[in-house]
């Protein structure tokens, strides 16, 4: 390394201090100022700063003394790289401890990486604020660069990990939009004796038509320390349940009872369903695991919910004598107003599934089929 090159760079840097400072003050804080110096040997020196205050800090480094000191340090680093058996060598120097009171950098870390035969690269960090990258080509020509983009892949990954960890520790509560799409099934159904002509003893649902849709906002609050994987989840949700019958059967509300009867008057049903909407509030305990880069991996949550039925109705679509007809009728259909049960989710990274079990019956006792509802499917949640 030629000491004259470093001296020339530092002199130009100090000489342009006033102009660079005014430029930084005139531009927004998010804009970076850049000083580019082309040396006689076609090497380029580039210095990027965030603001004028950071540029003024260069005065504290006693640049005249640092010029010769830095050249000696890089010479030692290059020699260590040639003699080393590995592709990377890191040396650390502490000028301020060697000569206290002279405002020298607290630490200079020089990392040398072998690129190929007769080629190596040296990274120099001053107090982890200013960085200089020195690259030696096969013909012995050195180039210098301080741009942040010259960090290694490991350094960039470490920066992303640090940023992700800070966000994780700072954000104790998050709000997730929830969209569930799944199916409904009747479980624990108890057949009843047939008391009316045409009434079926059990209820069979058409799987693909018995859909479940849920929309809501879940508030996730961390429990414990800043890196605790445990959270509590609560939030309002609105659900829509469809119970579509299989076969040529339809729902009927008569004499204070809701039943399923077989159609015998010649109509052929294409769709015959009972639907309801409800508002629910889940309360769950959530475990969120993360990988070494603080990205979410396995997630488990379990708890319960309570809700209230808002509305219910039936829809018919059928053909009769060659024509297609539709009918809709609102009513309570003797369904339970208050709902409660268990629910949980399991997911890995971006894929998540849910399950929801109604502990109370779908209908009031003695006023409809004796059955409970199980809903399951895929969940789409986002911050």
In this predicted model, which residue has the larger pLDDT, 178 or 129?
Answer: 178
Q: Is 213 exposed, middle or buried (0-12, 13-18, 19+ CB in 10 A)?
A: middle
**CB within 8 Å of 107: residues ≥ 6 apart:** 92, 93, 94, 96, 125, 126, 127, 128
DSSP for 48-108, please give it. EESSHHHHHGGGGG-HHHHHHHHHHHHHHHHHHHHH-SSSEEEEEE-HHHHSTTS---S-E
Unique residue bearing structure tokens 């018995």: 210
214 neighbors 237 (Cβ within 8 angstroms): yes
Q: Which of 93-97, 192-196, 361-365 has the highest mean pLDDT?
A: 361-365
Instruction: Report, as an integer, the average pLDDT of 165-181.
Output: 88
Tokens of 84: 């080393």
How high is the pLDDT of residue 360? Answer: 95
Bridge partners (DSSP) of residue 93 are 108
DSSP classification of residue 205: B
Tokens of 26: 């005139």
Q: How do residues 242-258 score in pLDDT, each as one tens digit?
A: 999 998 899 999 888 99
The reply to whether the predicted model has a pTM over 0.85 is no
How high is the pLDDT of residue 151? Answer: 61
Phi/psi for 367 (5° steps) reads -115, 15
In this predicted model, which residue has the larger pLDDT, 195 or 288?
Answer: 288
Q: Lowest-pLDDT range, 89-98, 104-113, 120-129, 185-194?
A: 120-129
How high is the pLDDT of residue 219? Answer: 95
Instruction: Report, as an integer, the average pLDDT of 106-132.
Output: 63
Mean pLDDT of the chain: 80
Q: How do residues 299-310 score in pLDDT, each as one tens digit?
A: 999 999 999 999
320 neighbors 266 (Cβ within 8 angstroms): yes
Instruction: Report, as an integer, the average pLDDT of 101-123.
Output: 68
Q: Which of 60-64, 132-136, 167-171, 322-326 has the highest mean pLDDT?
A: 322-326
Q: Lowest-pLDDT range, 95-99, 258-262, 329-333?
A: 95-99
Q: How do residues 3-18 score in pLDDT, each as one tens digit?
A: 444 444 444 444 443 3
The Cα–Cα gap between 210 and 375 comes to 10
DSSP classification of residue 117: T
Q: CB-side exposure of 314: number of CA atoms within 13 Å?
A: 19
What is the distance in angstroms between the CA of the first residue and the CA of the last residue of the chain? 52
Phi/psi for 62 (5° steps) reads 50, 65
The Cα–Cα gap between 335 and 313 comes to 10
């Amino acid at each position: 390394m030629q000491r004259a090159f470093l001296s020339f760079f530092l002199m130009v840097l100090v000489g342009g201090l006033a102009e660079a400072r005014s430029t930084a003050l005139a531009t927004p804080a998010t804009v970076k100022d850049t000083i580019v110096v082309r040396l006689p040997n076609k090497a380029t020196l580039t210095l990027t700063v965030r603001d004028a205050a950071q540029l003024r800090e260069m005065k504290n480094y006693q640049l005249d003394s640092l010029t010769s000191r830095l050249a000696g340090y890089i010479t030692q680093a290059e020699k260590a790289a040639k003699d080393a058996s590995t592709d990377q060598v890191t040396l650390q120097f502490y000028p301020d401890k060697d000569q206290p009171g002279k405002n020298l950098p607290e630490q200079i870390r020089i990392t040398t990486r072998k690129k190929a035969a007769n080629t190596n690269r040296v990274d120099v960090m001053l107090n982890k604020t200013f960085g200089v990258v020195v690259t030696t080509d096969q013909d012995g020509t050195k180039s210098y660069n301080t741009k942040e983009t010259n960090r290694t892949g490991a350094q960039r990954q470490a920066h992303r990990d640090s940023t992700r960890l800070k966000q994780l520790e700072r954000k104790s509560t998050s709000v997730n939009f929830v969209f569930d799409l799944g199916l409904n099934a009747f479980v624990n159904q108890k057949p009843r004796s047939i008391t009316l002509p045409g009434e079926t003893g059990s209820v069979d649902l058409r799987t693909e038509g018995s859909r479940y849709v849920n929309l809501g906002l879940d508030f996730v609050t961390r429990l414990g320390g800043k890196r605790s994987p445990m959270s509590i989840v609560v939030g309002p949700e609105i659900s829509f349940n469809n119970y579509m019958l299989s076969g040529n059967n339809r729902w009927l509300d008569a004499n204070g009872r809701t039943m399923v009867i077989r159609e015998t008057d010649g109509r052929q049903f294409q769709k015959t369903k009972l639907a309801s909407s409800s508002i629910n509030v889940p309360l769950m305990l959530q475990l969120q695991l993360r990988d070494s880069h603080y990205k979410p991996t396995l997630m488990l949550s379990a708890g319960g919910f309570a809700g209230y039925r808002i509305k219910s109705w039936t829809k018919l679509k059928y053909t009769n004598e060659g024509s297609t007809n539709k009918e809709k009728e609102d009513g309570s259909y003797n369904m339970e107003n208050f709902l409660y049960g268990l629910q949980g989710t399991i997911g890995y990274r971006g894929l998540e599934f849910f399950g929801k079990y109604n502990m109370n019956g779908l209908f009031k006792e003695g006023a409809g089929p004796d059955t409970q509802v199980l809903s399951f499917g895929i969940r789409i949640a986002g911050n």
